[in-house]
Structure 1
Amino acid sequence: MSGIPVASPVYTLGDWQGNVVDEYGCVWVVETEEGWSGGPPVAAVVEDREAGDGAWTAPGSFKARVITLSGQCLAPSQTAMVAAKDRFAAAGDPYDLQDLVVEELHLTRKAAVRLTDRPDPTDKGSRAFTWTMTLTAGDPRRYAVEPTIVTTGLPASTAGRTFPRTYPRSYPQVSGSPGRVTVVQEGTYQMCPAVITIRGPVIAPEVVHVQSGRRLGFGLTIGWDEELIIDLGAGTALLNGSTSRVGDMAPGAAWFLLAPGINSLRFRGRPGTVPAGMEPPPLASMEVVAYSAWV
Structure 2
Amino acid sequence: MQQRLGNITWNGMTFGPGTQYAVTALSGIDDLPDVRAEDMDRPAQHGAYTGPDVTGARVVQLQLGLRGLSPDDLRSLSLALRAATQPQAAPAELCLLDWDILLRAKVRKRSIPYDAERLWSIGDAAIEFYCADPYLYGLTERSASTTAYSPSAGRTYPLTYPRSYGVAGLSGRITASNLGAAPAYPVLRIDGPVASPSIEQTGGGTLQIDAVLQVGEFLLIDTSTRAVLYMGSTPRRSWVRAGSVWPLLMPGTTELTYRGDALAGAPGQQSLLTVTWRDTSL
Aligned residue in 2 for 1:63: 56
> For the residues of structure 1 that align with 2:86 and 2:132, how far apart are their CA atoms?
14
Deviation at 1:45, TM superposition (A): 2.4
1:266 match: 257
Contact kept, 8 Å, 1:65 with 1:140, in 2: the verdict is yes
Query: Is structure 2 residue 94 aligned with structure 1 residue 100?
Result: yes
Structure 2 residue corresponding to 1:13, chosen from 10, 34, 45: 10
In structure 2, C-alpha distance between the alignment counterparts of 1:241 and 1:62, rounded to whole Å: 30
Displacement of 1:30: 1.9
Residue in structure 1 matched with residue 272 of structure 2 by the alignment:
285
1:118 alignment counterpart: 110
- Residue ranges of structure 2 left out of the alignment (5+ in a row): 154-169
Aligned to 2:124: 130
Partner of 1:247: 238
Paired letter, 1:33: L
Identity of aligned residues (%): 23
Give the corresponding residue for 1:196.
Answer: 188
Match of 2:218 in 1: 227
Among residues 67, 74, 80, which one is paired with 2:73 in the alignment? 80
Q: Is the 8 A contact 1:201 1:222 kept in 2?
A: yes
* TM-score for both structures, normalised by structure 1: 0.82
Contact 2:219/2:229 (8 A) holds in 1? yes
Match of 2:147 in 1: 153
Q: Matched residue of 1:90: which SS?
A: helix
Q: What do residues 85-136 of structure 1 show as CA deviations (whole Å, max 9, x unaligned)?
A: 00111222421321110123xx411001001113434334311111100001
**Residue 294 (structure 1) shift:** 1.2
Aligned partner of residue 21 in structure 1, secondary structure: coil
User: What is the identity, as a one-letter code, of the residue corresponding to 1:186?
Assistant: L
Q: Which amino acid aligns with 2:194?
A: V
Give the RMSD, CA atoms, in angstroms: 2.1
| Partner Cα distance (1:228, 1:119) in 2 | 44
Aligned to 2:176: 183
Does structure 2 conserve the Cα–Cα contact (< 8 Å) formed by 1:121 and 1:131? Answer: yes
The CA deviation at 1:21 is 3.0
Once residues 158 and 68 of structure 1 are traced to their aligned partners in structure 2, the CA distance between those partners, rounded to angstroms, is 57
* Runs (4+) off by over 4 Å: none
| TM-score of the two chains, using structure 2 as the length reference | 0.85
Q: How far apart, CA to CA, are the structure 2 residues paired with 1:147 and 1:158?
A: 33
For the residues of structure 2 that align with 1:93 and 1:192, how far apart are their CA atoms?
A: 30
- Aligned CA distance change for structure 1 residues 253 and 46 (closer, same or farther; 3 Å): closer
Shift of 1:158: 10
Residues 1:154 and 1:114: Cα distance change in structure 2 (over 3 Å): same
Deviation at 1:157, TM superposition (A): 7.7
Between the aligned partners of 1:228 and 1:219, the Cα distance in structure 2 is 12
Shift of 1:243: 2.2
1: CA distance, partners of 2:196 / 2:225: 22
Q: Residue 206 of structure 2 aligns to which amino acid in structure 1?
A: R
Compared CA separation, residues 250 and 149, structure 1 to 2 (3 A): same
Larger Rg: 2
Taking the aligned partners of 2:278 and 2:203, their CA distance within structure 1 comes to 18
Indicate the SS of the match to 1:86: helix
Which of residues 28, 31, 34 is equivalent to 1:35?
28
Measured in 2, the distance between the counterparts of 1:158 and 1:40 equals: 50
Tell me the amino acid that sits aligned with residue 283 of structure 1.
Answer: Q
In structure 1, distance between residues paired with 2:46 and 2:9: 49
Structure 2 counterpart SS, 1:182: strand
